[in-house]
Structure 1
Amino acid sequence: MTASTSVTAHAGSSTPADPAQVCAAWAATGRFADYVVYERDGRWTFAADAVARIILTGTDVSVVTEDTTTSRRWVDEPGARPVDALAEAVAALPMADWQLYGWVGFDFAAGHHGLGSRVADDTVLAHVIVPRVELTVSPDGVGGGVEIGGVGLDDDLLAVAKAAADIAEANGRRETPHIDIDSDPYDYRGQVAAAVSEIAAGDYQKVIMSRHVDIPFAVDMPATYARARVANNPMRSYLVSLGGIETAGFSPELVVSVTADGQVLTEPLAGTRPLGRSPEEDAAAREELLNDGKEITEHAVSVRACFEEIESIAEPGSTAVTEFMAIRERGHVQHLASTVRGTLRQDAGPWVSLSVLFPSITASGIPKAPALDAIYRLEPKPRSLYSGAIMTASSAGELEAALVLRSVYAQDGQAWLRSGAGVVEPSRPDREFEETCEKLAGLAPYIVAAQHGDDGAVDAGEAL
């Protein structure tokens, strides 16, 4: 059903729920096996209960509806690329009007840059759904709670929304176990040193080296999302459980945004300093960032590469840098940020834009193909969703892909964090390691362990 209602405080609670808490409470009910929570411009969308889904692997693509499953092997087709298989599957959806939500993994890029052999045949490259339940939640400026609207709101979900503040308050009292982000068991410094040597040899100009941090306990993703959102100010945030992978995260930048009228945009961030220590230290770090030759070089080459990528699919003369080297604050760090825009050519479109701009230059490297090859060679753990994208797209031609960084991940009973830093020839392994710690500090202290048995926390399912 379509509904619109305001929710303030639950009976017995003096604190109204916020949108992140409401969406987290819905996710925690266990009612939905798959869901995507996506925050954009002060409005949250909760998408669940798929009426159709598309699953793209290294060899096959499937369109699954309630009545049928259609699969085909795309990899053997002449000149086939992952993006073409995905676009064709989207075109085959059995409904005329649709909104897609889901994720694109890092390995989606391999087949577009001659590295398809690096990816196992059964690796899932993308998983997206058309939801039956699609609810929006935004702050209610009048009542001090939230405004809920959309399709699929029923009395059970409304009851959970009303209890969301109580659930978040109880979960907020749970202890956050320590996660060791300061050790280097996978020799990240050695990976950075190897990359610096390859850059000095002329193999590529820049690469983002990332490191994997194991979490020695199961994670309560909804509770973590609700708690950590308070401490972060992302470009986009998300809470996802889809295809056996879970993530909660706070994206600092967009990989790509395409509007219905063909305007394409990317927003590279490159160059980092800590934030939140003290006003004086933050100001000093900002000044240092704006004057650090290594950081400025890293940012400038990233912007130039993004410009060239958009220029390759845009109308001649339409590509422009509309913001350059601004400071953007994201959680516990501050970045140099720019915006590059263009108008898509008639023969391009949202899916072509995704393939050209994905993965983000600021999460892969320059030139992109040799940088991706270096990532596959030098990083000991596969990236999975890290540096991929949480995306939404519509039948009207819109598409948005948020870069998956500053996130916690879980799959097959294992949970982990991941963080990276841009490596150029002047990079120092110790400083790049320190930068990853600064980024991890924005999330690690807020991760909530999954509980077993009666721990006194409020279970969202109880509200049902």
Structure 2
Amino acid sequence: MGTKVGRLKNYCPAERLFAAFHRETAAFLDSSLENAYGRYSVIGRYPYLRAEENLGRLRVNGREMDGTLLGFLSRYLKENREENETGLPMISGAVGYLSYDYGRSFEQISTRHVKELDMPEGLFTFYDLYVIDDLEKKELYICTGERLHSYEWYESELSELAGMPDRKIAGGTELPDECEKGGKEAGGESSVSSDFTKQEYLEAIHSMIEYIRSGDIYIANMTRQIKVKCDIAPYEVFRYLRRHNPSPFGGYLNEQNFQIISASPERFLRIRAGNVETRPIKGTRKRGKTQEEDRRLRMELEASEKDRSELLMIVDLERNDLNRVCEPGSVQVTELFAVESYATVFHLVSTVTGQLKAGKTAADLIGAAFPGGSITGAPKIRAMEIIDELEHSRRGLYTGSIGYLSMNGDCDLNIVIRTAVHQNGTYHLGAGGGITAESEPEFEYDETWQKARAVVEAITGGDKGWMDH
């Protein structure tokens, strides 16, 4: 069954359409920061196949099966391959995530920590309807396999929504033009806690530095987990976050018993017509309060030998990972030390590219490179073992990946940072940073706040009390 693709006559931003059905089991890969990496947004609706893995058990549409999630996805995508000649990033396929915990199984790295959240370790859902928003051309496209409804039915439904007044969505619900209040300011009570006290985190960093000086590793990511109890609705947090901290690789995934809210700035893996790209981030500075301070902090990051050294080590790791599945000699570093600006931070970023070997798939690439080197360390396996020893909780989804796998073999996956999972009135998020022999523990602790700040403020309305935990 081929996919039917057409352009909607009336343009309406994807986020406005999504407001009408965010309560459904639906997915929104949101490029709220429009740039070279954030041209398209993707909405998935009307699921027809759900594949998940949890604690080593694979289920497809609720039925237990042998094998792994990645193995199933690889077979299904091959058996149902469909070319995409439209120029759109995808027209059919699956949207979902792989958690960091799922990635541990690749290298058979056990964990000493209990699982807190009731959610699969890996989940991808195939949707019958995809709505693609070309943010550059201001055009909306409908892509459907017509499994559940006809193209005309979807077109009629979306045209009606697109033509509604700006401050209305389906059912007459008010949709304010702006979302200016988060958390407590929007009427919710909140409390914030961390799995580390400040002193405990500083001691863990000292321990990690000792491992580095002993030669076990060169660099590793050190994470703290944060919980925010708040009765604000997760969709309101998402709206606030996307407005105040736009990102090219954000999203909102609504499941029956949990929601994922992401404002990730980092691309993990992309395949486009066999061309592979990864863009690791290492190095962060907060934004300044004045233009002069902002400029000084940007220049400080750009000139930082410590941050450049961190990023260079991760670039070498990513090159090695890509070389496992790319054509010999094709892996190149096309951008080494670029500074990117976001609402609350600057980041130091590199780009590594390659050409996928003939016969290799997105699943092979994920198997070679997941979890991303920028949020594990080098060497990767030993870094992940030390991470589990020194961190106080499972990472869960944090530092995993969210994105899509296309029926034509393409994919685009982020690194799960600046992301919260909501379940039973509590938001779960992580924040961490790369530790090297030159790391200053106090600076590293403060950096976790800068990285978590946008998400925590979206939930709490600006409460900074957790910094003292």
Task: Look up the SS of the partner of 2:317 in the other structure.
Answer: helix
Instruction: Tell me the equivalent position of 1:458.
Output: none
Match of 1:208 among 218, 221, 225: 221
1-structure distance, mates of 2:177, 2:460: 13
Alignment-derived partner of residue 71 in structure 1: 64
Match of 1:50 in 2: 47
Q: CA deviation at 1:37?
A: 0.3
Question: Counterpart of 1:4 in structure 2: which amino acid?
Answer: L
Which of 120, 128, 133 aligns to 2:129? It is: 133
Map of 1:259-338 to 2, 5 A cutoff?
Answer: 259=272, 261-338=273-350
> Which of 26, 29, 42 is residue 38 of structure 1 equivalent to?
29
Amino acid paired to 1:73:
D
Structure-to-structure mapping, 1:175-186, within 5 angstroms: 175-176=185-186, 180=192, 184-185=196-197
Query: Are residues 93 and 348 of structure 1, via their aligned partners in 2, closer, same or farther at CA, if it must alter by over 3 Å?
Result: closer
Tell me the residue number matched to 2:435. 423
Using the TM superposition, give the Cα deviation of residue 242 of structure 1 relative to its aligned residue in structure 2, in angstroms: 3.1
User: Cα gap change, 1:94/1:366 in structure 2, threshold over 3 Å: closer, same or farther?
Assistant: closer
Task: Give the conservation status (yes or no) of the 8 Å contact 1:38–1:236.
Answer: yes
Match of residue 401 from structure 2 = 389
CA shift, 1:294, in A, is: 1.6
Among 181, 202, 205, the alignment partner of 1:192 is 205
Structure-2 residue corresponding to 1:84:
71
Cα-to-partner distance string for 1:197-237 (whole Å, 9 max, x where unaligned): 22222221111111112212134222222222122242311
Q: Secondary structure at the match of 1:304?
A: helix
Distance 1:321 1:3, change over 3 A: closer
Deviation at 1:319, TM superposition (A): 0.8
Once the two structures are TM-superposed, the CA of residue 124 in structure 1 deviates from its matched residue by 2.6
1:26 aligns with 2:23: no
1:101 and 2:88 correspond: no
Q: Which amino acid aligns with 1:240?
A: L
Gaps of 5+ in 2: 32-37, 84-90, 145-153, 462-469
Instruction: Kindly state the Cα deviation for residue 262 of structure 1 after the two structures are TM-superposed.
Output: 1.1
Identity among equivalent positions (%) equals: 20
Matched, 1:357 2:369: yes
- The residue that corresponds to 1:111 in the other structure is 105
1:11 aligns with: none
What's the offset of the Cα at 1:314? 1.2
Deviation at 1:280, TM superposition (A): 0.9
Which stretches in structure 1 are left out of the alignment for 5+ residues? 9-17, 75-80, 450-464
Change (3 A) 1:170 1:400: closer
TM-superposed deviation, 1:22 = 3.5
In structure 2, C-alpha distance between the alignment counterparts of 1:440 and 1:433, rounded to whole Å = 11
Give the CA deviation at 1:185: 3.3
How do 1:164-175 and structure 2 match up within 5 A?
166-169=174-177, 172=180, 175=185
Mapped partners of 1:326, 1:430: distance in 2: 25
| Residue 136 of structure 1: how far off its partner (Å) | 2.7
Deviation at 1:416, TM superposition (A): 2.5
- Note the C-alpha offset of 1:158: 4.7
Q: 1:265 to 1:140 in 2, by over 3 A?
A: closer
Offset of residue 132 of structure 1? 2.3
Q: CA-to-partner distance for each residue in 1:308-365, whole Å, 9 max, x for gaps?
A: 1112211111110001101111331111111000111124221111122211111111
Report the counterpart of residue 461 of structure 1 in structure 2. Answer: none
The one-letter code matched in structure 2 to 1:410 is H
Structure 1 distance, partners of 2:81, 2:348, is 43
Pairwise CA distance, 1:5: 3.7
1:58–1:216 Cα change, 3 Å: closer
Q: Take 1:48 and 1:411, find their aligned partners in 2: how far apart are those partners?
A: 21
Once the two structures are superposed, residues 88-143 of structure 1 have per-residue CA deviations (whole angstroms, 9 ceiling, x without a partner) of 3555679999411111111121121121576989973311111123223455978x
1:6 is paired with a residue whose SS is: coil
Aligned CA RMSD, in angstroms, stands at: 3.2
Deviation, 1:448, is 6.8
CA distance in 2, matches of 1:123, 1:141: 37
Deviation at 1:73, TM superposition (A): 3.2
The amino acid of 2:175's aligned partner reads I
Which moved further from structure 2: 42-51 or 359-368? 42-51
Q: Does 1:248 align with 2:248?
A: no
- Is residue 288–residue 295 contact of structure 2 (8 Å, CA) maintained in 1? no
1:425 Cα shift?
1.3
Query: SS where residue 168 of structure 1 aligns?
Result: coil
The residue type equivalent to 1:395 in the other structure is: M
Q: Which residue does 1:13 correspond to in 2?
A: none
Residues in 1 aligned to 2:79 and 2:164: alpha-carbon distance in whole angstroms: 36
Partner of 1:437: 449
Q: CA deviation at 1:402?
A: 0.9
Q: 1 CA distance for matches of 2:209 and 2:20?
A: 46
Q: Deviations over 1:39-68 (max 9, x none)?
A: 24333221122111111223222222xxxx
Aligned-partner residue type, residue 176 of structure 2 = A
Classify 1:95/1:197 alpha carbon distance in 2 versus 1 (closer, same or farther; 3 Å).
same
TM-aligned CA distance change 1:252 to 1:181, over 3 Å: farther
Q: Residue 27 of structure 1: CA displacement? A: 4.1
Question: 1:432, 1:248 → 2: CA distance?
Answer: 25
Count residues in correspondence: 422
Tell me what 1:218 maps to: 231
CA distance in 2, matches of 1:91, 1:403: 25
Structure 1 stretch displaced more, 82-91 or 53-62: 82-91
- Please give the TM-score of this superposition, normalised by the length of structure 2: 0.80
Match of 1:193, SS state, is helix
Q: CA deviation at 1:87?
A: 2.3
Q: Distance in 2 between matches of 1:229 and 1:395?
A: 28
Q: Provide the rounded CA distance (Å) in 2 between the counterparts of 1:360 and 1:371.
A: 12
